[in-house]
Amino acid sequence: MAFELIYLYIDDIGRNIKQCEIPFSNRFEVIYDGDEKNIFIEKKDPGVGFFYGENIQDIKLLVGKNGCGKSTVMDLLGTTDQDRKREFPMYEKDEWPFDGKVWDPGRKYSWFAVYHLNGDDFVIEGYHPELLGKITEQVCLRDDYSIAIAYDFEKHRVSQLDFLQEKTVDRSRKADEAMFYLFYQVEPAIHWLTQPQRLSKDRYNCTFERQYVGKNGFQAINSYLYRATHEQKFQEEMNSSIGVEIEIGLKSSRTRSLDVENVINERTSAQHTWMLEKTLYQGKEQLLDIPVPKLRKILNEPIPYSDKECIILEYLEELIWNILKKGNAKAKQSYDPPKVENNYLYRKQFLLEFLKQLVQENAEKEYLSVTVTEEDYQIAQKICEGIEQIPDGYCQNAQTIRIPVRDMEKNFTDVFMCAMDANSSEEHLVQHRNIIDVKFRHLSSGEAFYLDLYAALYRGVQKMEHQKEGDTCILLLDEPDSRFHPEWSRRFIKNLTEELKKEMFRKFRYQIIISTHSPLLLSDVRKEDIICMNTDGKNGSVRIEKSPYGFMSNINDILLDTFFLEAPYGAWAENYVNKLLEKISQLEQEIKGNTNTIPKKKTTEEFMKRIECLEKEVNKIGEELIRSSLLKKLHRYYYQIQSQKMQKNQEEETRREEIRYLKERLARLEQDD
In this prediction the pTM is 0.80
d(CA 185, CA 77): 13
Per-residue pLDDT reduced to its tens digit, 551-586:
888 776 776 665 555 666 677 877 888 888 888 888
**Cis ω before 46 (30° cut-off from 0):** no
Per-residue pLDDT reduced to its tens digit, 125-157:
999 999 998 888 878 888 899 999 999 999 999
* pLDDT score at 497: 94
The answer to whether the beta carbons of residues 500 and 463 sit under 8 Å apart is no
Per-residue pLDDT reduced to its tens digit, 536-548:
756 667 888 888 8
For every residue of 137-172, DSSP letters joined together read: TTS---SEEEEEEEEETTTTEEEEEEEGGG-BSSSS
* pLDDT score at 509: 95
Structural element, H or E, at residue 421? helix 414-421
Query: Which residue ranges in the chain fall short of pLDDT 70?
Result: 1, 94-105, 189-193, 204, 240, 252-274, 289-302, 326-330, 341, 363-370, 425-429, 537-540, 556, 559-569, 594-603, 644-651, 661, 673
The answer to whether the beta carbons of residues 496 and 53 sit under 8 Å apart is no
* pLDDT score at 540: 64
* pLDDT score at 263: 45
* pLDDT score at 262: 47
How many CB atoms are located within 10 Å of the residue 215 CB?
A: 14
* pLDDT score at 659: 76
Structural element, H or E, at residue 22? strand 18-23
* pLDDT score at 58: 93
Amino acid (one-letter) located at 191: H
Report the C-alpha dihedral over residues 373, 374, 377, 383, rounded to 10 degrees.
-100
The answer to whether the beta carbons of residues 3 and 472 sit under 8 Å apart is yes
Indicate the SS3 state at residue 11.
Answer: strand
